[in-house]
Structure 1
Amino acid sequence: MLGFMKHYKNASGPHLVITPKSTLQNWINEFEKWCPSLKAIALIGHAEARSELIRDVIIPGGWDVLVTSYEMVLREKSLLRKYVWKYLVIDEAHRIKNEHSKLSEIVREFKSKNRLLITGTPLQNNLHELWALLNFLLPDMFAFASDFDNWFTTNEMIGNQDLVSRLHRVLKPFLLRRLKSDVEKSLLPKKEVKVYVGLSKMQREWYTKILMKDIDVVNGAGKLEKARIMNILMHLRKCCNHPYLFDGAEPGPPYTTDQHLVDNSGKMVLLDKLLQKLKEQGLCQLLVEFTSIVGSSLFGDFGSSLDA
């Protein structure tokens, strides 16, 4: 789009792209790949490096797109306020769903002729958050949250197809939805296989220990407290992943990285067999894991032992 604006509308910038730090370099790479005529620069790094970039590159001009992160917006807001941006683009735009957050307040102060939000979840928790996004795009049209909230209430929407249709009509002029199936025709349909794995002996012991600790809640004899139930479920989930996620479960010190790391988790036993087989066959393996659940050091130890 920005390339089209430059070559067909003679609008080369300046444009501002605000993105998560993790995808910032990818934005730069995509500009270089698809539209190398657009000069994109990244505002990132420590204070000294940023000062040098601002002095030597940004202030003199000659660039089209400035790509920066949410954190840099908070730190360099005085600089970014000085420009009138042709396009202000925010990736993962649900970050400004709370109009009272610091980031949301700051980006609303930026002067821009056009605004574009990119998000996979325009509607997450409630319709007020959707209003906050629309208010950022068109503050004059969506000026009052109370009017929007009164017109669309979450309770009324449940089972009410008329209000859902009304919401679609309101969003249609402002929302361009693209599915993977629309833009990537070469990908084969995703094949999902669920494999049920039994618990190891150690997992069964810890599973029982967790249940016995709050047996009154489990049996319904005690006072039902949502927080306690959720806490039990979270601990059971951790146990099903690996008992070593609990303090005192892993034998040691000394702590060793050997077969017990695999044997004490049913999931790891299966994973170890699968990866070894795939490695022998020379097949590509992409493993996605949640380190907050699995444990970053635990999984790192397993990966190191597998490579060895």
Structure 2
Amino acid sequence: MKPGRPRMKNDEKQNLLSAGDNRHRRTEQEEDEELLSESTKTTNVCVRFDDSPSGLGKTLQTISLLGYMKHYRNIPGPHMVLVPKSTLYNWMNEFKRWVPSLRAVCLIGSREQRNALIRDVLLPGEWDVCVTSYEMLIIEKAVFKKFNWRYLVIDEAHRIKNEKSKLSEIVREFKTTNRLLLTGTPLQNNLHELWALLNFLLPDVFNSSEDFDSWFDTNNCLGDTKLVERLHTVLRPFLLRRIKADVEKSLLPKKEIKMYVGLSKMQREW
């Protein structure tokens, strides 16, 4: 089989069914067998990234990670990068500019164009990364479900903060080894939305929204520093977080000016 070609044996299907996992995550036995089979190709070294590279934004960090997986860990793919339609071509340009050895394909266009790309490119498997939009994912979900994805990367990940939305339900059904969420939009004081993202990343760990909401009740959290510290402790292993000043060094220091003005005539009347 070529890389990216859907691979699923009968015994693997039975393992998934017997595990009772409706999210289509791989069983431990399957992952162990895969790691053992790959040990002949690459040295089994555990690498953990605790800090973000200085100066790299989310897009380049992701591209560099996938390039590292291919050239240093001998894991070319298949990977999926799910992005807003408006940023599709920017992602493709960045792949070609920074890691041209990663064979990135873009699934977009009319029904005829998509069918041709699926038939001639996707199914033969001569590629490493598939970049597509949220809309295309929903339309072509039957095709994407056939692949065993190495990395599933979702840009603007707050789009799946509602676990009951159609997009959120579909991506949870994919067979994936690793999942990565990117967002530049900080979550507000709504911990249930945070749980929805954590549940997507690790459904076996964050499996109960009721328990999570009870552990970190927003009303208590805002006034209790110990609860905030506990929340930070729970999130730290799953999050790489930065502020703009860490990436953009030329920004001037933030300055706040408070101006107090009286009510207007209309405001006073209301």
TM-score (norm 2): 0.70
Give the match's secondary structure for 2:179: strand
Q: Is the counterpart of residue 146 in structure 1 residue 210 in structure 2? A: yes
Q: Which residue of 2 aligns with 1:80?
A: 144
2: distance between equivalents of 1:45 and 1:141?
Answer: 38
Q: Which residue of 2 aligns with 1:189?
A: 252
Deviations 1:243-270 (A, max 9, x none): xxxxxxxxxxxxxxxxxxxxxxxxxxxx
The structure having more radius of gyration, on CA atoms, is 1
Of residues 181, 192, 214, the one that matches 1:117 is 181
Ranges in structure 1 where 5+ consecutive residues have no aligned partner: 197-206, 212-216, 221-308
Moved more, 43-52 or 82-91: 43-52
Question: Is the contact between residue 12 and residue 64 of structure 1 (CA under 8 Å) also seen in structure 2?
Answer: yes
Relative to structure 1, the CA distance from residue 144 to residue 52 in structure 2 (aligned partners, 3 Å threshold; closer, same or farther) is: same
Q: How many residues align?
A: 201
Question: Is the contact between residue 151 and residue 176 of structure 2 (CA under 8 Å) also seen in structure 1?
Answer: yes
The Cα of 1:125 is off from its aligned counterpart by: 4.7
Deviations 1:139-174 (A, max 9, x none): 000011010000011111122111111111011000
Give the match's secondary structure for 2:237: coil
Deviations 1:32-78 (A, max 9, x none): 11111001011111211111111111111110000000111110100
Runs of 4+ in structure 1 displaced over 3 angstroms? 190-194
Question: Is the contact between residue 122 and residue 130 of structure 1 (CA under 8 Å) also seen in structure 2?
Answer: no
Give the match's secondary structure for 1:173: helix
Q: Which residue of 1 aligns with 2:269?
A: 219
Q: Which residue of 2 aligns with 1:127?
A: 191
Amino acid in the other structure paired with 1:89? V
Deviations 1:109-137 (A, max 9, x none): 01100000001235235100000000000
Deviations 1:204-223 (A, max 9, x none): xxx99xx5xxxxx8624xxx
Give the match's secondary structure for 2:185: coil
Q: Which residue of 2 aligns with 1:155?
A: 219
Question: Is the contact between residue 15 and residue 86 of structure 1 (CA under 8 Å) also seen in structure 2?
Answer: yes
2: distance between equivalents of 1:3 and 1:37?
Answer: 8
The Cα of 1:10 is off from its aligned counterpart by: 0.2
Percentage of pairs with the same residue = 65
Q: Identify the structure with bigger relative contact order (alpha carbons < 8 Å, sequence gap 6+).
A: 2
Give the match's secondary structure for 2:80: strand
1: distance between equivalents of 2:268 and 2:247?
Answer: 48
2: distance between equivalents of 1:192 and 1:153?
Answer: 33
Relative to structure 1, the CA distance from residue 163 to residue 191 in structure 2 (aligned partners, 3 Å threshold; closer, same or farther) is: closer
Relative to structure 1, the CA distance from residue 44 to residue 192 in structure 2 (aligned partners, 3 Å threshold; closer, same or farther) is: farther
Moved more, 80-89 or 47-56: 47-56
Question: Is the contact between residue 24 and residue 69 of structure 1 (CA under 8 Å) also seen in structure 2?
Answer: yes
Give the aligned CA root-mean-square deviation in angstroms.
2.2
2: distance between equivalents of 1:52 and 1:22?
Answer: 23
Question: Is the contact between residue 24 and residue 68 of structure 1 (CA under 8 Å) also seen in structure 2?
Answer: yes
